[in-house]
Each structure stands twice: as structure tokens, then as C-alpha cells.
Amino acid sequence: MDWEEAEARLESVAAGVFDRQTFRLLPRKAGQSVNHGQVPDWDREEFDFRGSLEFNPPGIASERRMGADPTGRGQMVFFEAVVTAATTEWPYMPRRGDLLAHGHDRYKIEGVDADGSARRVFQVNRAR
């Protein structure tokens, strides 16, 4: 077994252990103008996937996520939850602003992180 085969096997085992909940990706795009909210993105298909949902993740300190206020540098950014999933079989990668449906709940993707593996971490807040 070479390195790629071993990594693929490990990814499969991790998905079997952690990805136990069903989600549906609801792609979104900007509305007609800045005064309109986001609307469904019919150019990207909705799809179901299995993943894990964890509430109250620890805060994340990241310069990428800092706001326009220069005094806010170094502050922690908090999300209500994170969704993790193996993404190798997905038709496309979700992006910030897309919604994840989990049962009757909807979560808005606020950030997407990759760690070099086939799994992605989606920082989410409840959609209002």
C-alpha cells in the first residue's frame, strides 16, 4: 500500500466514524442589488451529504476573519457550531453564505477551512 492509498483508507475510516448526520447543501448567491438579501443559486445543484455537527466550538483567532475596525485585531471570532465532512465526492465546494439544512434547522456558512485532508470544516451560525 502506498501513501495515497493509506491516506484514502484513513479518510474513509474517519468518515465512517464521524459523519453520522445528514445535511443538505442549499447554495445561495447575492440578490439583485446590495439592498436585496441572498437568493437561491439555481446554477449550483443542491445535494445531500453526511457530516458531523458540533456546537460551541472554541473561538478562533485569525487575521483573515477580522472586521474593518482596526481596534478589533487579535480578538477571537466565535461561531455557534462547526460542521465537518469528507468532501472528495462532492460536485463542488460550498462557499461562504451557502446554507446547510439539518432537519428543520438552517445554518449559514460563515467560513470554510481545509487542513490538507479530504475533510472540510464549515463554521456556521443559525440562519435567521
String of DSSP letters for 14-79: HHHHH--EEEEEE-EE--SSTTS--EE-TTS--EEEEEEEEESPPPB--GGG--S-GGGTT--B--
Identify the CA nearest to 65 among candidates 51, 79, 47.
79
User: Higher-confidence residue: 23 or 18?
Assistant: 23
What CATH fold (topology level) applies to the domain 3-126? Thrombin, subunit H (2.40.10)
Residue 105 grid cell: 434547522
- Give the pLDDT confidence score for residue 78 in this predicted structure: 73
Which range is least confidently modeled, 44-58, 70-84, 110-124? 70-84
Q: Residue 114: pLDDT band by 50, 70, 90 thresholds?
A: confident
CA dist 65 and 87 (Å) reads 23
Q: What is the DSSP letter of 5?
A: H
* Burial zone of 106 (CB within 10 Å; 0-12 exposed, 13-18 middle, 19+ buried): middle
What is the bridge-based pairing of β-strands 119-126 and 81-86?
antiparallel
pLDDT of 55 higher than 70:
yes
Against a cut of 0.85, is the pTM above it? no
- Give the pLDDT confidence score for residue 116 in this predicted structure: 76
Output the CA torsion 101→103→104→108 (10° steps). -20
